[in-house]
Amino acid sequence: MAEIVYPPVVLAAKTMFRVLDNRLRVTGTEHIPRSGGAVIACNHVSYLDFIFCGLGAQPADRLVRFMAKKAIFDNRIAGPLMRGMHHIEVDRAAGKDSYDEAVQRLRGGEIVGVFPEATISRSFTVKPTKSGAVRMAAEAGVPVVPMALWGTQRLWTKGRPRTLTKRHVPIDIHAGEPFHPGADDDPEVLNKDLRTRMSEILDGLQADYPDEPAGEDDRWWLPAHLGGTAPTPEEAAALDAQRPERG
């Protein structure tokens, strides 16, 4: 398929991050397949994660087709861009159609990006994940590459104002070792393994992050178990139940 929209969008994103001196550190890129289908399963802490997850595959010269909710495709600005980049529209009323399209894309040799937590994690830990990522990989016969991002929440996350022009924010992206779900494997066991892998990568990124909060009021972007003021996973789940937000 023709790639008219995706390359300019990637170039614009890279230019913006360079101007803002957002220090991107991309590691584990040797784990991204240079050819053939694969599922990238990434944690979700920011509204911008699809951009950075996609950048994580750039060193392998791969474009990621993300599964994204219908509301984004319905947006008059984002919609044409999403369709132009050949992302996959997810309509909850017709979820099987989206799933089948993703499997078809994987069998066709494309990389499909999935956020298995489904929504942004307010606690900045990995929430319980849905099994769609491992199920589609098993059906298509392709590997799953676990990935984690850290630092993106400082630019724009759930319940916080956008700070897209904030300068000098380190952004870490790491792709973990791929694993190959089998058609006869238990999806729930695979899903538990995926969540463990994503959590371990995220823990490593958090431990090695080169920046610290500027003061007590800036501790919001750290998870509670690292001394931050973000909600605990239990508190975050309660907040999501009380005040569900898009994302």
Instruction: Give the β-pairing of 88-90 and 111-114.
Output: unpaired
Flag whether pLDDT at 50 surpasses 80: yes
Helix/strand/coil for 62: coil
Which pLDDT does position 76 carry in this prediction? 94
Which pLDDT does position 210 carry in this prediction? 97
Report the run of H or E that residue 42 belongs to, with start and end: strand 38-42
Which pLDDT does position 247 carry in this prediction? 58
CATH of domain 20-242: 3.40.1130
Q: How is residue 217 written in tokens? A: 């009021």
Cross-strand partners of 65:
112
Residue of 141 and 2 predicted with greater confidence: 141
Nearest-CA neighbor of 56 among 32, 82, 76, 74? 32
Average of pLDDT values for 41-68? Answer: 97
Which pLDDT does position 244 carry in this prediction? 60
Which pLDDT does position 246 carry in this prediction? 54
What distance in Å separates the CA atoms of residue 27 and residue 56, rounded to the nearest whole number? 8
Average of pLDDT values for 216-221? Answer: 97
Average of pLDDT values for 37-52? Answer: 97
CA 15 to chain centroid:
21
Q: Which residues of 106-142 are buried (b: 16+ CB within 10 A; e: fewer)?
A: beeebbbbbbbbeebbbbbbbbebebbbbbbbbbbeb
Q: Are the C-beta atoms of residues 228 and 219 closer than 8 Å to each other?
A: yes
Mention every residue, 6+ apart, whose C-beta is less than 8 A from residue 162.
Answer: 155, 156
Any idea where the domains of the chain sit in the sequence?
Answer: 20-242
Average of pLDDT values for 43-54? Answer: 97
Flag whether pLDDT at 93 surpasses 90: no
Which pLDDT does position 92 carry in this prediction? 79
Flag whether pLDDT at 22 surpasses 60: yes
pTM of the model: 0.96
Per-residue confidence band for 94, with pLDDT thresholds at 50, 70 and 90? confident
* Average pLDDT of every residue of the chain: 95
